Amino acid sequence: MSDRKFVSGLFNSRTAADAAVDAILKRGYTREEISVLMSDATKNKEFALQTKSQAAGGAGIGGAIGVAVGATLAAIVAIGTAITIPPLGLVIAGPIAAALAGAGAGGTTGGLIGALIGLGITKHQAEVYDAGVREGGILIGVDARSDDEVDNLERMFEDLGAKHIHNE
């Protein structure tokens, strides 16, 4: 297996999560390399607001700017690798989706915690992420390409307001 490390952080707002995704892309990663995990309720709330603002914004410049903000996060959640796990009420996109689906996260109580532990996240950190996501947070993660990149991503996440930054 690769010597990459999964760097993740919990963001308390869609705006902060959008900023993290945009910053990761600017570092040369692709949308397909970025993992996103949120509750189904958060997805419905946050993406419904975007739809309403787009409709109200019309085709003017203000509307175009509003559409551009957050478009990348919306695209990641909409791509084919995004899955919804109804028993857990979660929406998962990116590489973490396949790992969680393969771990059977949808079939057991505590499946998310177990699956996150299977990805190398400590039990305590998995419990923190589980609680944070259920409270409306958005987990963003990416496999760092080097040890230096781990440090850079952690600093970037911290600067963007992420809580509970972790790497494994």
pLDDT tens, position by position, 114-160: 777 777 788 898 899 989 998 999 999 998 999 999 999 999 999 99
Q: Is the pLDDT of residue 54 over 50?
A: no
Q: Is the pLDDT of residue 20 over 90?
A: yes
Residue 153: closest CA among 138, 137, 142: 142
Structure tokens given for 84: 């919804």
Q: Which residue would you say has higher pLDDT here, 36 or 113?
A: 36
Looking at the DSSP bridge assignments, the partners of residue 5 are: 144
Residue 70: closest CA among 54, 55, 91, 81: 54
Total Cβ atoms within 10 A of residue 55: 9
Pairing of strands 90-93, 83-85: antiparallel
Sequence ranges of the domains in the chain = 5-167
Structure tokens given for 133: 């996501």
Average model confidence (pLDDT) for the chain? 75
